[in-house]
Amino acid sequence: MIYGIGIDLVKIERMKEAVDKWGRKFLEKIFTENEIAYCYEKKEPYLSFAVRFAAKEALVKAIGSEVFIPLTDIEVMNFENGKPVIKARGALEAFFKERAIKHCHLSLSHEKEFGIACVVLEG
């Protein structure tokens, strides 16, 4: 059964501007250390930050306004084959257990200046 669906679109340049303006402090409010390291290993780190931010926002939309989830409790990782996955931590992990959410499907994409993410929560 589908619990929720969320989608979000992020302008990559906007992410770059935010990082340039507020630096590491900004990144640490949104991303885990693993995500920050992963993105900075990439040729285009702001693209990676943008799609990860979109994934977090899409997940929040899929949940609805039922509970506040810190963005650092949502960790976007990749399997060895490149498939993106959300690792639930802290409040998100507890929310998934309470609502019996068994799967969190994630799709990421980008084109020129935008990054997009879609999340489907399945109970």
Residues marked active site are found at 61, 110
- In whole angstroms, what is the distance from residue 55 CA to residue 30 CA? 11
- In whole angstroms, what is the distance from residue 104 CA to residue 83 CA? 13
Which residues touch 90 (CB under 8 Å, ≥6 apart)?
Answer: 70, 72, 73
- In whole angstroms, what is the distance from residue 87 CA to residue 75 CA? 5
Which residues touch 108 (CB under 8 Å, ≥6 apart)?
Answer: 51, 52, 54, 55, 76, 84, 115, 116, 117
